[in-house]
Structures are given as C-alpha cells and as structure tokens.
Chain A
C-alpha cells in the first residue's frame, strides 16, 4: 500500500469511527443539562470543548496503543494472517452494526453495556467542571470500544507500515476525522441551535447512520482484503 492509499484508508476508517454515535449522545446530554442549569455560554463551551478534547485524547491513545502492540509483535510488515483476521473482524462488525447497533426502541439507545450508559447519563447530568467533562470524553470512547475496535485495528496496521513522519500525520488524521461528528454538534450547540432539532435529526436518520457505518466497515474490510491478501497472493502466482 503506498502512502496516499494508506492515509486514505486511515481517513476512511476514522470516518466510520465518526459515524458511531455514543460521543454525540453524551455531548447532547451534557449540553442539554448545562443549558437547563442556566450555566453561562462560556461554561457550556468549556464543558463541551473539554469533552471533545477527552474523546480526541482517548482515540489518540487507543490508536497508538494498538499500533505499538502490533508493531512489537509483528514488526513493520505484519503477516497476511493478521491482515486477514482484521478484515474478518471488520466484516463481522459491519454485520453486527447492521443488526444490533441501535436497540429496537424509541430514541437513539445504543447496544453498549447498560452500566456504562447509566454512568455516562448520570455524570453528564452532574458535571460542572471541565476536568470531569474531559474524563467523560475518555469514558465515552472506551464505552464504544466494541464497535470501534475494527477501524482502530486496521488503522494501526496501516500506520505501522508507514515511515515514522507519515505515522504521525496518519495518527493526526485519524484523531481529527474520528471526532468530526462531535465537532459538528459542538459547533451547532455553540452557535445556539436547538438541541431538540439535533436530537430529532439523529433519531430520524439513525437507521441511515447505522446502515452507513455497517456498510463502511464491510467495504473497508473487503478493500483491505483485496489490497493486502488477494493482490499479494495473485502476484506470487
């Protein structure tokens, strides 16, 4: 995979990550409680900015963690079995997202552990400090690890094959693009848009987002499989 293709794969994986909705849900609740508690606009922005910083830091740490583990175990050129396994995980996750991402009930309730959801709901209501909002950002990314592990793994695999300078650029691309949806909601809330309109849009389009995320994972899995397994296998014949 050349550098441009590698960065595009990382960006696409990050875009899939961005289509997952837990961070946006927490951000919506955090904003709603901050507004209803009559906190100042500056406080609202401080809380939501801290939350997004938390999601960025945890995403950065997770990609780096997966990359360093994969690099330590397999070196710069992971064996094809590893690529094939990650492709399988991506396709499996894609089907799982199609079937299970949202619970079959009203609203935007997600298939995440209920204890995590209860914790995030309670703390987003009570958060007053930027530090706690930051920790909520960290926790919300961890809570969705079951779904984002695919994009994280494939990005880490792609990154370890790149020269070190491009690894940093790839890491930055993943971190920025994966928080794209939260940044849009942050901008809308900050510019005074109604939370009910944002939540209504999310609820109305939840099946589209679910389909897009699942399809994206499957497409990414198939593309990487063809690029890393089929092309290499056919080249060696």
Chain B
C-alpha cells in the first residue's frame, strides 16, 4: 500500500489512528484461533484477508473502523464462515 490510511474510531468519539496491517492480521488470527482453527491455517487466512482489505483501502484517505471490520469480516467469511461470525460478534456479545 503506497499511502497511509486513517482509521476513524467509533464515529469520531475516539482519536483516529493509522491503519496497521499487523493489527488487522492479529485480530483475524485471533478470530480464527478462537474457533479452534490450526495456527498455520489461521496465519494463511489472515494474510489473504489483509491483502484483500488493503486492496479495498487503495485510494481512500480515511475509513471508519466499523467499515474496516465489515469488509474484513466479508473477506474472512469466504475463507472461514465460523471465524467471520466470531469476528463480527466481538463488539456485540455483551
């Protein structure tokens, strides 16, 4: 990705931050592992999802964290529907 993208957190209530591939990667790996996916497969899925999300981010100066989560979940769903479900549920479990 040739430029940096700002992530607007929770409708602007929290300070924006730069998009970090490693952070997205870690959250996708975590969702995969939580449904007992083998570690190697979780890493591979996370790489694929991060590549897809970065492709979507091209040309955008800023996106909301909510949109980022939706797009990541959509791509994760094609690889692992159960992990995508847990990824989507993270902020709406309680």
Contact = CB atoms under 8 A, between A and B. Distances in A.
B82 interface: yes
B41 interface: no
Interface stretch (A10-18, A100-108, A180-188): A100-108
A120 to B, nearest CB: 6
Contact of B94 (A22, A194, A200): A22
A199 B93 contact: yes
Interface centre among B30, B86, B89, B92, by most chain A C-beta atoms within 10 angstroms, is B89
Contacts of A200: 85
B85 A110 contact: no
B82 A107 contact: no
B94 A195 contact: no
A162 interface: no
A171 interface: no
Contact of B89 (A110, A120, A194, A199): A199
Interface in A67-83: none
A173 interface: no
A230 to B, nearest CB: 39
A109 B94 contact: yes
B94 A121 contact: yes
Contact of B93 (A29, A38, A112, A197): A29
A108 B92 contact: yes
B34 interface: yes
B31 interface: yes
Nearest to A118: B94
B48 interface: no
A38 B39 contact: yes
Among B35, B39, B94, residue most surrounded by chain A Cβ atoms (within 10 Å): B94
B34 A117 contact: no
Contacts of A117: 94
B85 A196 contact: yes
B92 A36 contact: no
A28 B92 CA distance: 12
Interface string A195-234: 1110110010000000000000000000000000000000
A36 B33 contact: yes
A32 interface: yes
B60 interface: no
Interface string B19-57: 000000000011111111001000000000000000000
Nearest to B83: A196
Contact of A26 (B82, B91, B94): B94
A161 interface: no
Q: Nearest 3 pairs between A and B by C-beta?
A: A107-B92, A25-B94, A36-B33
11 contacts: A25-B93, A25-B94, A36-B32, A36-B33, A37-B30, A107-B89, A112-B94, A194-B82, A195-B86, A196-B35, A199-B93
